[in-house]
Amino acid sequence: MSSAPESALPITLVRHGETEWNAKSVVQGQDDTARLNDKGRGQAQLVAESFLDMDFDLIISSDLARARETASIIGEVLSLPLEIDPLLRERSFGVLETGPSSTLTSAVTGISKGILVDPDARPDEGESFRDVVRRADIFLDRVDEEWSTKRLLVVTHGGTIRALRASASATPLEGLIWDTVDNCSVWTIQSLLAP
């Protein structure tokens, strides 16, 4: 999956726990109103316990509240320091945020039948998927500059996980398969450079 050298440290990615807006199919994007619901807090606790035998050095989280709360629950279980990075925010859906998920049509997302067909599609006042990948590129550069010797646990969002995976593997964006990224699902990538 990665074009990185085998000696590069893996980065573990976790999507935040379920929010009340996830449960109601409301577009969240970068709107910071939604909070974890009871199910989401339970998911965060369970994923934290699944990491007890792993040797992480640091948690880095999106600055959006749903990711920060998930990261705080995990960090408390694992006794890990927490760093916040706005580069890890979800894709901005602009004027569609706080509305129903049904407004996220292929014309504004660039996604059709589970495939990214237009990485430059964007809702009004929002980001394209290519924009999110550019943020992912900057974040991975930061990882290589600041944390290349650290085992990282990154708590972020579904779109950002897809962008980080695409960036780390240098996958062409056109034709990218749009994998389902469930709440508190776990993914692994390699940093771009060897430590």
pLDDT in tens, 122-134: 999 999 999 999 9
Q: Which residue is catalytic, options 20, 49, 83, 90?
A: 90
Q: Is 16 labeled as catalytic in the residue annotation?
A: yes
SS3 state at 90: coil
> pTM for the whole thing?
0.93
What are the pLDDT digits (tens) for 86-120?
Answer: 999 999 999 999 999 999 999 999 999 999 999 99
The answer to whether domain 10-190 has CATH 3.40.50.1240 is: yes
DSSP string, 139-187: HHHHHHHH-TTS-EEEEE-HHHHHHHHHHHHT--STTEE-----TT-EE
Token pair, residue 50, equals: 């699944």
6 an active-site residue?
Answer: no
A 10 A CB-CB count for 42 gives 15
C-beta separation of 75 from 82 below 8 A = yes
